[in-house]
A and B are shown apart, each in its own frame.
Chain A
C-alpha cells in the first residue's frame, strides 16, 4: 500500500484527509471519534473573540438537494462559528493535540478587522499546541453581515491586512481560507500571499437558497416563517472548487502557494481531482455529515490503491494535471474527435439520438434499414461529447480521434478567422 503520509507546511499527518472547519470539528468528542476513525487531521470549528458566545438559530440550520433515492447531492447551512465559550474550546484543543500528537490540529479563527483583537487572541490559541491557524475569510452567511467571513474575503485589501496581523501575532503557519463568492479567485489569492500567508485553502461555501416550500410558498427552510441565504457545499460544488484550485495552481504569481483543497470531496476519486489539480491535501466536511466518519476508510484505501496502480507517490500526484489546464484560446482547433457507439453495449434507449437531434447537431440516427439503430453520422458529428455525457451505459459511447496526429496544431491565437491573431 502506498504511503499516504502527508506533510503540509511542515505539519505531518498520516494521510492527506483533514476534516474541514465545520460542525464535525466543534468539540473534542467529535474530533476524538474522527481521529479514532482514522482522519489525518482536523481544522477546529472557527473560534471567535473572547466574551459572550455566538448565538445560533434554533430552527433548521441545514437543508439538502436530494436525488430520488434521497442521496444528498448538495447541502446548505446557516450555522455560525462556534457557539461555545472560547475557554472551553481552547481546553479541548489542548487535550486533543496532546492525545493525538501524530494528527494535524489546525484552528480556524474569525476576528473583527481590528489588529488588537488578532494580537490578543492568536497567542492564546497558539498556546494550545495547535499546528496552524486557518483564517476564515469565507463564511457567506451571518458573520459576513458583521463585517467578518466573506465580507473580508471579498475585498483583497482586507485579506492582506488581516493576514498581516495574523502573521505578526502567530509563530505557527497561517492558512487563508478563501470564499468562492468572488468574480475571480486570483485577486484574493494574491492578497493572501502579499499578506504573508503560508497557504490558502478553498473553497468555502457558496451563497445559496435551496428552494421554496411548496405548501407555504415561502423560502425553505425558514425560522419562524423567515429564511436567509446559506452556504452551499457537497458534491455539487466540486467542479467550482476544482476550477478555483486549478486557477491558483496554474497562474504564475500564485502557483507557489500551497493549497488545501476543499469542496465536495466524497470519495477518493474526488481527492485525486483536487490533488492532481494542485492541492497538497484535502479537507472534507459534507460527506462526513452525510455518512459519518467511516468514509475515511474508502478515502484512504482508495487513494492508496490508486497510487499503487499508477506507480506514483502522493507527492507525485500533487499538481500532476495542472499543466493540462489552459485557456480556451490555446486549444488545438485542428484536433478532431467523433463519437463512436459500441453496438454491443448499446441498450437502444435512444437518448443520444433525441438529445443530439433536438439540442445539438442531428448527428445520430434512430432507424437504419427499418430497425431501431443508433449510429453516429460522422459528417455531422462535431465531437461535442453530449451523447457520451448522457448515455446511461458506461463506456458505450466513446470519443475517437479522427484527425491526423501529424496535422499542424492551430489555436485561436493564430487562427485565420481571428482578427486579433498572432502574426509572428
Chain B
C-alpha cells in the first residue's frame, strides 16, 4: 500500500516498474484542462470593473508596474469605450501588454498595490482589464505606432524573446533598422516556449509577435544562435549597436547521484515541447511525477503534469514557503490543481535502475523517499559566459540604461543581473535599452 503522503522506503521505490505513457486523458479532457485560465471580460463586465478604479493620484498600481503603464489612464479610457486609446496607453509603455495581461503575477504587482485592497480587500482586476483593452487591437492588427524618420543606423538584437522584441519594436519606432537574431524556429522566447499553455491559448504568443513586427523595419533571422551561427565580435563590427536578450538557456543541474537516469528531465525542455505540441494527448507523462524547484517554472510543470493526467504530482522545494519565488496565487493554483507541495527538502539521490523510480530527500529531521515515474528539474537556469562581458552570479552586469561592460553592447531580460524571470521586466529592459541606444546613436 502506498502511504497517503506519498513518502515511501528506498526498497519499495527501487522495485517499482516505471509507469510513463501518453493518452492518460481523452482529447476532450485535455482540451478542457488547457483552456483559458481566466476567461476574458465581456464589455459589461469590463465597464463595471473599470468603474471600480478610483483614478488615484500618482497611482500605486502604476508605481508597482515594472513598465510604468498609466493604469488609471487606460482604465478611464475603457470606461468611455475608447478602446484604441486605452490600448495605446498600455502598449506605448509595454508592447507586450497583451501577454503581460495574461502572465503577470498581478497579485504581487499592480493589483497588490491597488488601494481597493485597503478599502474592501478586493483589488480592481487590472490584468483582465488590460487584456480587455489590448485583445481587440492585437487581434485586429490595428496599428497604433509609426516609425520615425530613418536614422540610417542598424542595430543587432540577439534573442527573439520579450526583451529582444521589446527592444526591437522601440528601436524601429525610433527610426533605426533592426535585425533580430533568433535561436529558435519561432519568435517569442519563453512566451512561445515557456509559459504555461493555459495562460496563453489560441496561439496568442504568435499573434502578438505578428503585431509587434507589423510596424516594419525589423528583419528576423531564425535559427541563428549567438556563439554558433554568429559571434558577438562580428555583430559589434557590423552594427551600430548590439542588444543581448539571450535569456538563461542552460538549465541548472541538481548535481546529485542518479541525475542521468532516464525519466529525469529539465522542466523548461518538456514545457517547450508541450507548448509546440498541438495534440497534447500524445505527450508521455508519468503516473507519479516529482518536480524539484520552487519557482514559476516548477509550478507550471507541476500543474501541467496534472492536466496531462499524472495521478500524483509532488513539488518539492529545498527551502520554506516564504522563499518560493512562485507567488501565493500560483502556489494556490498548484494546490487546487492537485499538486502536493513539500517544503524544506533538498533532494539527495535519484533512485532507480536505468529508469528513475523515485527521489530521496534529506531534511533537517531525516530522510524521505517519493515514488517517481518522472522527475522534472526546475531549479533555475544560467547562461554560459560571454567573453568580454562582466558577469555576476552567472548574469550580465548592466547599468541604468541596460548597457553592459562592453562598449556598444546592451542587454536585458533574464540574462542580466536584476532579471527576475518576468516577461514584464524583460519588456522594460528592452525598452530602456532601446531608449539608451537611441540616445547614444544620436549623440555619436
Contacts and interface: CB of A to CB of B under 8 A. Distances in A.
B56 A68 contact: no
A67 B51 contact: yes
B54 interface: yes
A68 B79 contact: yes
A274 B18 CA distance: 80
Contacts of A353: 57
Nearest to B116: A347
Nearest to A358: B57
Nearest to B48: A69
Contacts of B115: 347-349
Interface residues of A, number: 15
Q: Find the residue from B55, B59, B116, B119 having the highest chain A CB count within 10 A.
A: B119
Contact of B57 (A67, A69, A351): A351
Nearest to B120: A347
Given A67-B51, A69-B48, A393 B58 contact: no
B248 interface: no
A392 interface: yes
Contacts of A351: 54-57
B118 A366 contact: no
Nearest to B79: A68
A392 B119 contact: yes
Interface string B55-91: 1111110000000000000000001000000000000
Interface string B30-61: 00000000000000100110110011111110
Contact of A366 (B54, B58, B60, B79): B58
Nearest to A396: B119
Given A69-B48, A354-B57, A366-B57, A393 B119 contact: yes
A354 B55 CA distance: 11
Nearest to A69: B48
B55 A68 contact: no
Q: Find the residue from A69, A354, A366, A372 having the highest chain B CB count within 10 A.
A: A69
A350 to B, nearest CB: 3
Nearest to B46: A68
Contacts of B79: 68
B51 A347 contact: no
Q: Find the residue from A70, A350, A354, A372 having the highest chain B CB count within 10 A.
A: A350
B60 A348 contact: yes
Interface string A88-125: 00000000000000000000000000000000000000
B279 to A, nearest CB: 43
A350 B48 contact: no
Contacts of A354: 57-58
B124 to A, nearest CB: 11
Contact of B51 (A69, A348, A366, A393): A69
Nearest to B56: A349
A343 to B, nearest CB: 12
B320 to A, nearest CB: 30
Nearest to B118: A347
A366 B59 CA distance: 12
B129 to A, nearest CB: 12
Contacts of A349: 54, 56-57, 115
Interface string A229-262: 0000000000000000000000000000000000
Contacts of A366: 57-58
Given A348-B115, A392-B119, A68 B48 contact: yes
Contacts of A392: 54, 119
Contacts of B47: 68-69
A404 to B, nearest CB: 34
Contacts of B59: 350
A379 B119 CA distance: 29
A370 to B, nearest CB: 14
B57 to A, nearest CB: 3
A374 to B, nearest CB: 9
Interface in A365-385: 366, 372
A350 B57 CA distance: 5
A6 B54 CA distance: 43
A354 B54 CA distance: 12
B240 to A, nearest CB: 42
A360 to B, nearest CB: 14
A349 B114 CA distance: 9
Contacts of A69: 44, 47-48, 51
A347 B54 CA distance: 11
A271 to B, nearest CB: 27
Interface in B92-115: 115
Nearest to B58: A350
Q: Find the residue from B44, B56, B60 having the highest chain A CB count within 10 A.
A: B56
Contacts of B119: 347, 392-393
Contacts of B118: 347-348
Contacts of B56: 348-351
Interface of B: 44, 47-48, 50-51, 54-60, 79, 115-116, 118-119
Interface of A: 67-70, 347-351, 353-354, 366, 372, 392-393
- Please list the 3 inter-chain residue pairs (A to B) with the smallest Cβ-Cβ separation, ordered nearest first: A350-B57, A354-B57, A68-B51
Given A67-B51, A347-B118, A392-B54, 7 more contacts: A69-B47, A347-B54, A347-B116, A351-B54, A353-B57, A372-B60, A392-B119
13 contacts: A67-B51, A68-B79, A347-B54, A347-B116, A347-B118, A349-B56, A349-B115, A350-B58, A351-B54, A351-B56, A353-B57, A392-B54, A392-B119
